[in-house]
Amino acid sequence: MGSAIGTFFGSHRRQRSTNMRPELQRRQSRAHLSEESRKRVLSKKYALIPDNYTSLDQVTAELSALGLESSNLIVGIDFTKSNEWTGMKSFNKQSLHKIGDSPNPYEQAITIVGKALAPFDEDNLIPCFGFGDATTHDFGVFNFHEDSSPCHGFEEVLTCYRKIVPHLRLSGPTSFAPVIEAAVDIVDRSGGQYHVLVIIADGQVTRSSDTSAGELSPQEKKTIDSIVMASNYALSIVLVGIGDGPWDDMKTFDDKIPARVFDNFQFVNFTSIMEKNVSLQHKEAAFALAALMEVPLQYKATIELGLLGRVTGKAKKVNPLPPPIPSAQRQTSTRQTSMRQPSSLQSTTTGDDQNQVCPICLTSIKDLAFGCGHMFSVWVKNYNAPMWFGFYESLGMWREFTKMPHLSSSSAVPPEKAAAAGISS
């Protein structure tokens, strides 16, 4: 009897379980589809965020209304080689990183962004990274502090910047992927708090002359992939373009990057705003407005999409290098530097080896025909030779230029340089 009862209840339970499991699965499936459908609708809604505001007061009021109390800023600074010549028009032919009595474009941009976002920077702690120099190239970042701690306010950002610049060797190529990955790591480790990454850069992502039309360079692909990946986190990215440009490709990065959870990227042309014939106060307000224009809706998107407070545990762990050390200490840290860098890049750690780096891609070691594949003597024929002599001269490498066989009697070389190099005109 007991056996029969046991068999009965056992079979009853199994039957009930068999009947309920499909129904439960259907409910879960409907709930999952409903959630996925909701996310698709929201992603479509925030796929392209418009510039809706006409004053900075409107932006700050909207952020306050949405409940944004702390903006948790992150700053990334571009230290690529092109900073030496992209100030030809906009900065009196000086390096954009020139430290002097008056602020350079980087210092101006840092100051204005600091003023605009100060009301929302509650803890006043700002992680700051550099990229594109001879230690990081396009694969890493360095922190402004030896212990990777954040800067305390924008005043310290500026102080650290002015201390670091004299010890840097600008290099390249340009990629925004490393600094975006570093910012995403910070967001994930913070428990999904909302952050704004401000990247201040002088040029577009590197696209070498041997990249075919319709294709992406390695740096372009990694940058686009990192922006798409970052849209899964509570992070807004503002790229501030300084110097002469060009900036055409940045419009593509701003509005046409595919497959993002939300439009998380905003490009602002700092130079064009600062060249306007209005008062400095109006220029600063216009720049701050342009930089923060999309932030209110981006913040709202992170709330509605469930990104705010979300921790994935999947963010790439980024270990920033320390800031470049003073030249007097470089001899004692050669071994440590070698351990940090791929062997193919170790020759870029001293100033004497600068002539061994390809001046086209600014990263690969060269021989007579550049080892990175760039045939300069062929490549330069398609361009204005005097212009490229000027470019070579800006790198301190004009003698290398004169050694190219097809330029041995080129009128591109000034007479005094030709005489010094033993070139017959």
Q: What is the pLDDT of residues 383-415, one digit of tens each?
A: 445 555 555 555 555 565 565 544 444 555 666
Q: Which residues of the chain have pLDDT under 70?
A: 1-52, 69-71, 251-256, 325, 327-425
* Residue 248 is assigned to a structural domain of this protein: yes
Tabulate helix, strand, coil % of the chain (nearest 5).
Answer: 50, 10, 40
CATH number at residue 191: 3.40.50.410
Residue ranges making up the domain that contains 77:
49-146+155-207+216-305
- The two tokens of residue 200 are 């201040």
> Is residue 254 in some structural domain?
yes
3-class DSSP state for residue 33? helix
Is there a contact between 235 and 198 (Cβ–Cβ < 8 Å)? no
**Is residue 281 one of the residues assigned to a domain?**
yes
Question: Taking the CA of residue 163 as centre, how many other CA atoms within 13 Å lie in the half-sphere pointing to its CB?
Answer: 14
Evaluate whether residue 340 is within a structural domain: no
In a domain, residue 101? The reply is yes
User: How high is the pLDDT of residue 423?
Assistant: 61
Number of domains in the chain: 1
Domain assignment present for 282: yes
The verdict on residue 28 lying in a domain is no
Q: What's the whole-model pTM score?
A: 0.70
Query: Does residue 327 lie within any of the structural domains?
Result: no
Give the closest residue to 196 by CA, choosing from 293, 295, 289.
Answer: 295
Tally of CB atoms within 10 A around 181:
21
